[in-house]
Structure 1
Amino acid sequence: MTIVVTVKINDGIVLAADSATTFSDNDGNVIKIYNTANKVFNLVKGLPIGLLTWGAGGVGAASIATLTKDLRRRLAGEDPSHIDWKLPVDYTIEAVASRVKEFFHDELYAAQAPSPNFFLGFKVCGYSAGAALPELWDFRIVGDKAIGPVLARGQDSSGPNWDGEYEAMDRLILGIGTKFKPFLKEQGADDQQAEEVTSAAVRALSVPVTIPAMPIKDAIELATFMVETTIRFVGFNMRAATVGEPVEVAAITKHEGFKWVKRKLFFHQDINP
């Protein structure tokens, strides 16, 4: 499990994630957790385009981190065998999200036997060429199906989004946990009734935590808080700590582009400047 967060406002979009990656046996028992996974990426260096990933840590033998860097080379025009993948000057985030789907699903995942339990999610976000405001696109591989890319937040939409480990933020921001709808069904509600009551509860109990004019610094602090709170929440549960530090955070703004706020490195900067 993991936690990935975006906070989109008028002045930009913030990406944040934990660093845990979990390995389980065939029965679903956790056998190892590493707190060094990379889930936040600048998809094309020098351009205001970011990527968040959660779910499976790899496709085949390669990690998502390595594969994302392969995709980055293509989009930057550095892969001679895929020179047509280089982003044009008038690129859109929608087109970039479609390339993410084409690369990870159509090319890589479809080449192997699909697993009914496989899940891999991506959030592609940033500024289309010449755009005044950012946007957020969502793409997922669920079993043998590709879902999206779909527009999660257009240029005129602001607010937080979170995926992976939902419980902490669902309770804190939406006012109800992930077990609320199943509980209603246990009490005799049918699917439609459970959906209607859940929606009504969220409307009545949710707490707004952003406004479109929020400064980017505050959006950074909110995204960091959301990830850190989820880490603490999971850490105190009677379960494996499948969400863990360190927290990585990046911000994408119109004029500064993609900038790291918090980042872990596997090398020492003094010997690898």
Structure 2
Amino acid sequence: MGVAVNDCLVFAADSASSLVTTDLASGSSQIANVFSHGEKVYNLYKRLPIVAMTCGMGNVGTASIATLAKDLRRRMMGNDPAWAIDRANYTLADVADKARRLFFDERYQALNPPPPAPHSFEFWIGGYSSDFDAGHEVWKISIENGNCPPPEKVVGDGNAGLFYGGQPGPINRLVIGFDHALADILISGGIDPNASQQMENFLRQRLESQLVWPTMPVRDAIDLADFLVETTKRYFRFLPGADIVGGDTDIAVVTKYEGFKWIRRKHFYPASLNPLETDHA
């Protein structure tokens, strides 16, 4: 879940991580288990205002997305000119290109065999380029059943709004006013596809709730992101089937002058026993 306002970007995510295996009878993917302590929000470059978030597949091959995100950070903070980021002169578009190169070109395309369909992966990168006055941006890398288009600019020029992926149903119902499957349901009920789209547009114009305001203070933007993640978690808790959204909520915020800040973060180790450790993710 992401919230963009004039003063900040907020990334918030649950911790449910689904173990997906291949059904031997059908050859399709299936959820074998759901773990409750996945890491989905990342400090993508130490001491730069760049934050990242993931949803969908929790791993590429044997490597978790969290480990791959840290691999990307190590490369961008290193000395290899093919990967290194110039702290004084960089763009988020370049960061997104490097993320796509690592996740898709290097890791996903090396899988043999590739994961069975259906599967999807999203990696969101937000923050500020070295030209801070250009405003915050959000870029998204997507892999769906083997297809990975170029990074998409979701938010630009410091604009405000909501952006989210993974399991959008509860948020769509709450904010837009109906589930994202409405068009398919109308078509399956015999309504012409053009008329279905017109009806969806009509309903959205009259039902959508404006929860994000450009001038919201940072604390309120954080609370809104937390509320929307918590709402999604509780929805799936009572819905039949696996709790594919759940666990702790991790939250990070990026501002123009304070940079990257953790707001809430789980650890797999007790901080009291590791006094020299810092927030590493």
**CA separation in 1, counterparts of 2:21 and 2:5?**
41
Give the equivalent residue in structure 2 for 1:162: 164
Matched, 1:6 2:8: no
Q: Where does 1:148-159 land on structure 2 (aligned, <5 Å)?
A: 148-159=150-161
Aligned-partner residue type, residue 11 of structure 1 = D
Matched, 1:71 2:72: yes
Across the aligned residues of Structure 1 and Structure 2, the Cα RMSD in angstroms comes to 1.5
**CA separation in 1, counterparts of 2:240 and 2:119?**
25
Quote the offset at 1:140 in angstroms. Answer: 0.3
Decide whether aligned partners of structure 1 residues 60 and 26 sit closer, same or farther in structure 2, where only a CA change above 3 A counts: closer
Quote the offset at 1:25 in angstroms. Answer: 4.2
Give the equivalent residue in structure 2 for 1:198: 200
**CA separation in 1, counterparts of 2:181 and 2:11?**
27
Unaligned 5+ segments in structure 1 are none
SS at match of 2:186: helix
Quote the offset at 1:149 in angstroms. Answer: 0.5
1:86 to 80, 84, 87: 84
Q: Where does 1:1-273 land on structure 2 (aligned, <5 Å)?
A: 5-27=1-23, 30-77=31-78, 82-88=80-86, 89-113=88-112, 114-115=114-115, 116-132=117-133, 133-273=135-275
Decide whether aligned partners of structure 1 residues 36 and 222 sit closer, same or farther in structure 2, where only a CA change above 3 A counts: same
**CA separation in 1, counterparts of 2:66 and 2:183?**
35
Quote the offset at 1:20 in angstroms. Answer: 0.3
Quote the offset at 1:57 in angstroms. Answer: 1.0
Q: Does structure 2 retain, via aligned residues, the 8 Å contact 1:74–1:83?
A: no
TM-score by length of structure 1 reads 0.93
**CA separation in 2, counterparts of 1:232 and 1:175?**
18
Q: Percent identity?
A: 36
Q: Deviations over 1:211-263 (max 9, x none)?
A: 11110100000000000010011101122111112000000001111100000
